């Protein structure tokens, strides 16, 4: 596959920053837990989020969102697996606010909402195929990632929906859809779009206007990843992709982007810290273990779920 198939030409709005030195900082584990307060073990935690003093995660096997306090001693559960009204059959994505948890159930393409008291209601999403990446909700608006060759996300109000975002173009529709799957994150009055398989981050207005595209290959190990992916992709089928950006969260004006390293062996142990005002990579955080799949940030502490089955608090 030619480089042009992955790296689209940057338009004039792209903000590229090439610092002389991007600092690296090693993090250490200050607390670790591998089971819930009810003594059940984690299965596969997805999409960690910090809201207030709680850490939220979707436990795929339990088909529930779990909220833990910062000491990992108390928990609240949202949702219940099952086929009945208000129950969850295929939950793979969620968003937590101060008083409500919204869970995307792919079985019926609904966003179900829950409070601490239980099921609140749901909204059916029609006219598009949703992706299982991060999404967010603000007031009555939902910003949801979609699988499409013509848009990246949809802004859904109670009465209308509008597709937004400019996908990178590839030789086939299937490849275009596969490569442009992206997480959707809130930042002030903007929408941060993080493609899993492309070497940049985009910042859109809530009206779909593209403000910036941030080049991530200014970091040496990231450029090595891009080069490695280009080599491996030459004979890959259209529905195949290689992950460059494993997870992302926004906190305190910064985007924290969890990234793998392909060489010399596969690890997911680096976080790019991106200043969303300057549109530049500020520093690289180095995680102590080999493979993580989700992160969250709160008050200077970073939380990361380790593939060995532990939820780590790091600083």
- Reported as a single tens digit per residue, the pLDDT across 96-112 is 998 899 999 999 999 99
Contact 31, 313 (CB under 8 A): yes
Give CA–CA dist 125/104, Å, rounded: 10
Give CA–CA dist 273/251, Å, rounded: 10
Average confidence (pLDDT) over 165-192:
97
pLDDT at position 20 is 55
Mean pLDDT for all residues in the chain: 91
- Choices 3.90.1300.10, 3.30.465.10, 2.120.10.30, 3.40.50.970: CATH for 3-314: 2.120.10.30
pTM over 0.85: yes
**Residue 79 pLDDT level (bands cut at 50, 70, 90):** very high
Among 13-22, 40-49, 264-273, where is mean pLDDT lowest? 13-22
The distance of Cα 221 from the centroid of its chain, to the nearest Å, equals 20
Q: Domain residue spans in the chain?
A: 3-314
Average confidence (pLDDT) over 71-100:
93
pLDDT at position 5 is 40
Number of Cβ atoms within 10 Å of the Cβ of 248: 26
Average confidence (pLDDT) over 16-36:
81
Average confidence (pLDDT) over 280-294:
96
User: Is the predicted pLDDT of residue 18 greater than 50, yes or no?
Assistant: no
Select the highest-mean-pLDDT range: 58-62, 125-129, 269-273. Answer: 269-273
User: Is the predicted pLDDT of residue 2 greater than 50, yes or no?
Assistant: no
- Reported as a single tens digit per residue, the pLDDT across 115-158 is 999 999 999 999 999 999 999 999 999 999 999 999 999 999 99
Of residues 229, 294, 313, the one with CA closest to residue 92: 294
User: Is the predicted pLDDT of residue 17 greater than 80, yes or no?
Assistant: no
**Residue 300 pLDDT level (bands cut at 50, 70, 90):** confident
Contact 43, 2 (CB under 8 A): no
Give CA–CA dist 101/111, Å, rounded: 10
pLDDT at position 175 is 95
């Amino acid at each position: 596959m030619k480089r042009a198939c992955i790296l689209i030409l940057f338009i004039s709005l792209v903000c590229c920053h090439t610092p002389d030195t991007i600092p690296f900082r090693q993090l250490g584990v200050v607390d670790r837990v591998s089971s819930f307060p009810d003594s059940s073990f984690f299965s596969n935690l997805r999409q960690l989020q910090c809201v207030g003093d709680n850490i939220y995660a979707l436990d795929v096997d339990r088909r529930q969102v779990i909220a833990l306090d910062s000491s990992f001693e108390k928990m609240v559960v949202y949702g219940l697996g099952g086929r009945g009204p208000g129950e969850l059959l295929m939950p793979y994505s969620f968003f937590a606010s101060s008083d409500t948890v919204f869970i995307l159930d792919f079985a019926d393409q609904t966003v179900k909402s829950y409070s601490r008291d239980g099921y609140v209601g749901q909204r059916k999403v029609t006219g598009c195929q949703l992706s299982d990446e991060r999404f967010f909700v603000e007031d009555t608006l939902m910003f949801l990632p979609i699988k499409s060759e013509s848009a990246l996300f949809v802004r859904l109000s109670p009465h209308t929906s509008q597709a937004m975002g400019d996908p990178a173009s590839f030789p086939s529709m299937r490849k275009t859809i596969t490569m442009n799957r992206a997480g959707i994150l809130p930042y002030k009055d903007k929408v941060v779009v993080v493609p899993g398989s492309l070497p940049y981050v985009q910042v859109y207005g809530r009206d779909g206007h593209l403000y910036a595209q941030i080049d991530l290959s200014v970091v040496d190990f990231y450029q090595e990843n891009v080069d490695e992916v280009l080599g491996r992709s030459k004979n890959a089928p259209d529905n195949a992709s290689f992950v460059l950006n494993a997870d992302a969260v926004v906190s305190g004006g910064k985007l924290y982007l969890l990234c793998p390293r392909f060489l010399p062996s596969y690890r997911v142990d680096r976080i790019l810290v991106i200043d969303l005002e300057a549109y530049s990579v500020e520093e690289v955080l180095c995680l102590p273990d080999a493979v993580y799949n989700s992160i969250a940030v709160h008050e200077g502490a970073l939380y990361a779920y380790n593939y060995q089955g532990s939820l780590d608090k790091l600083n």
